[in-house]
Each structure stands twice: as structure tokens, then as C-alpha cells.
Amino acid sequence: MPDDWRSGGFGLYVHWPFCEAKCPYCDFNSHVARQIDHDIWLGAYLSALDAYADETPGRVLNSVYFGGGTPSLMAPRLIGAILDKAHARWTVANDLEVTLEANPSSVEAARFEGYHSAGVNRVSLGVQALNDDDLRRLGRLHDADTALFAFELARSVFDRVSFDLIYARQHQSLADWESELRRALSLDPDHLSLYQLTIEDGTAFGNRAQRGKLAGLPDEDLAADMFELTRALSSAAGLPAYEVSNHAKLGEESRHNLIYWRGGDYVGVGPGAHGRITRSRGRFATETPLAPSAWLESVAKNGSGEHHRHLLSRRDHASEYLMMSLRTREGLDLSRYERILGKPIKTRKIHELRESGLVVSQGNQLVATERGVAVLNAVVSALLPD
């Protein structure tokens, strides 16, 4: 399926691995460093972009996403140089989306203006909570007032601004979350990412939970109620869920994330970045070393910084597309799935899920219902190829 990626588009993900502090819930590849040589990092990023551009000639680049870590700690000139390289090596879409993740604690007007001048046109703010006590529990370096200031500042500079909130936090009631979410919606955002707190192994929260030191987490019923409330309130405010945890006004969806969910191709550069690149032989998964120093060494050796690549089997490719697409309100294109796998999903499986009210058919699309989204893992499990 050498052309299947075109159904999702083509994007670039740039991972900046550094943070001011490590949040206790975070399992992303982030590191705290006292000194960072931005010139060394810029040279490595440009080398990696050249290597991947050589592999993907003639492609139209639909999006660039600077994630982390805390990319708002990057010097604006780095952002500008990386985007200049992307423009030089690929054909760039007229509506190229360039997103930068930013923490409210690292926001300042001059830096935002610098990012905007460099080519960033969308910012995603890691607000996480609008409650000072909970922000402290989450290890955040900002308070609620700082977050609100950063949001308004971002909106004065960029056309598109999103922010994240985490719910199902310690000692949070359903009424608490409703009040906080209504406050967020009253700000008239174009896009919200609303995530349930998950306790991951290897994080500070994970270690505390194992020792029984993480009190006040909601039970499954309360977490489910919070999830349902999140979808209902957001939809009523004109920001329906277009993916399990992401809500947007019509036309304000994250184009970069849609590339992932639609099964497009994307180049991943930086420590711990993953990618998907389709070649004539099939679709490849790419990985880079997690440690910043190891990635820099890998770039010096091979140009891209990549340390592992494997060809996805047709089954793995189809399974990945199924898992990602069913997270969205667009759903799964059954014909495309059949082309990837070489055979269709068994009619019996679809019928059973439809009879249970977990999926519906919309033309050639298979879409999870509200009930289905609530138990999406079970829906996906039932449909995965044998």
C-alpha cells in the first residue's frame, strides 16, 4: 500500500526533550538540564531533517509540531531555522499548521512574538488545572492566574490557541470538575484537550501509588461520570469531541494530530521521537534514542538520529489504523482497512457490536457510538484481525 499514507497526509514532529522540572504524572521523554547548547541542537535537528527529506522527496508537508518536554524553552531562532529547513526541503501546504507546545510558566510576550515571526501559527498551552492547590499537586510551576494570563497573551499573538486540562485528579469531585470545565469553556476557546489523569509506571505518581501514598483518586464510576460530563458540556458549548480526548469548534481541529489518527505519514526527529514512513516496500516505524546525549551521538553517526526501524506487517498496519481511526468521530474506512489488510473485518463482529449499540455504520465508515467510546478498548479488541 505505497500510497495509503496520502489518506492521512504528511507531518513533521520535532521533540525538544528539556523541561524546567519533571512533573510527577509525566511519562513523556523529558529531562531537566542546567545548560543547553542551542547551536549543537540546531545542527542536529537540521541534519536529521536533511536525512528524512532525502527519503521523502516530492511530498507536501501539511503540519509541523514542536512537542516535548517544553518547546517554549527553545530559542525562537531555532524554531525559525527548523521551519526554514522544512520549507527548503519539502513542498509546504498553503495552510501549513505549525504548533508549539508551551507551559504558562515559560511564557513571555517577546518570546511569543519571536515564535510567531519564526512561523508558528498555533500554540498548545499546558494549563492542566485552574485550581492552585491541584496545580501544586501536579508539580506545575504556574498558578491559575498565570495560566489565564498566558492564554490571553497567546490569543493576542496567534490565530489558533488550544490548552490542556487534566481531570479525575486527587480529591476532585464531579461538581469540582464541572465548575472548572465550565470556567474553561467560558473563555471561548477554539480547542481543548481534556485528559483523564492516568497513573503510569515509572513516574513519581506511579511510585507513590505503588506505596499507597497517592490518596483521593476517583473510582472507575466517578471517572466514567467525569468523562461523560466532559463530552456533554463541551459539545453543548460548541466544542464537540472529534477524538476521544480532544474537542474543537468546527475547523479548529489539530491537523497534525489528525495525521496520526487518519494513518498518515510523519517524520519524528529528536530524542524519543517516533515516526511512520511509507516506502515502496511498505510502512516503516522509526524510533530514536531516549537520552538526549544518545540522540546527538546517533545523529553524528547516521544523520537522522534514528536507531531502530522496522517494516510493519499488513496486520500491524491494519491494526494501528483501526485503533487510531476509531478514536475519532470520522471512524474507520472499511474499504481502506480491507485494502491494507487484504481482507475485510468479519461481518459477524460488526453486527454484534452494532446490536450492542457500540458502533454504527455511516456509509462506508464504522464509527463508535457514545457508548462505544466509553468502552473503546473492548470495541477495538473485538475488531482486531485474528
Task: Concatenate the DSSP letters of all residues of 28-81 into one string.
Answer: SS-EE-S---HHHHHHHHHHHHHHHHHHSTTPEEEEEEEEES-GGGS-HHHHHH
What DSSP assignment string belongs to 173-205?
-HHHHHHHHHHHHHT--SEEEEEE----TTSHH
What stretch(es) of the chain map to CATH 1.10.10.920?
313-386
pLDDT at 153: 94
Grid coordinates of 344: 475485510
> How far apart (Å, rounded) are the C-alpha atoms in residues 12 and 6?
15
CB 62 within 8 A of CB 11: yes
Answering whether pTM is above 0.85, one says yes
Start-to-end CA span in the chain (Å)? 20
What stretch(es) of the chain map to CATH 3.20.20.70?
4-259
Backbone φ/ψ region at 321: left (φ over 0), alpha (ψ -120 to 50), beta:
alpha
- What value does the mean pLDDT take over residues 45-66? 97
Quickly state the pLDDT bin for 35 (edges 50, 70, 90): confident
CB 144 within 8 A of CB 29: no
Architecture of domain 4-259: Alpha-Beta Barrel (3.20)
CATH, domain range 313-386: 1.10.10.920
| Residue in 68, 90, 116, 119 with CA at minimum distance from that of residue 9 | 90
Residue 142 in 3-state DSSP?
Answer: coil
Q: Give per-residue pLDDT as tens, 300-347.
A: 999 999 999 999 999 999 999 999 999 999 999 999 999 999 999 999
Q: Give per-residue pLDDT as tens, 209-218.
A: 678 767 778 8
- What value does the mean pLDDT take over residues 66-89? 95
| Residue in 304, 302, 273 with CA at minimum distance from that of residue 290 | 273
> What integer best gives the mean pLDDT of the chain?
93
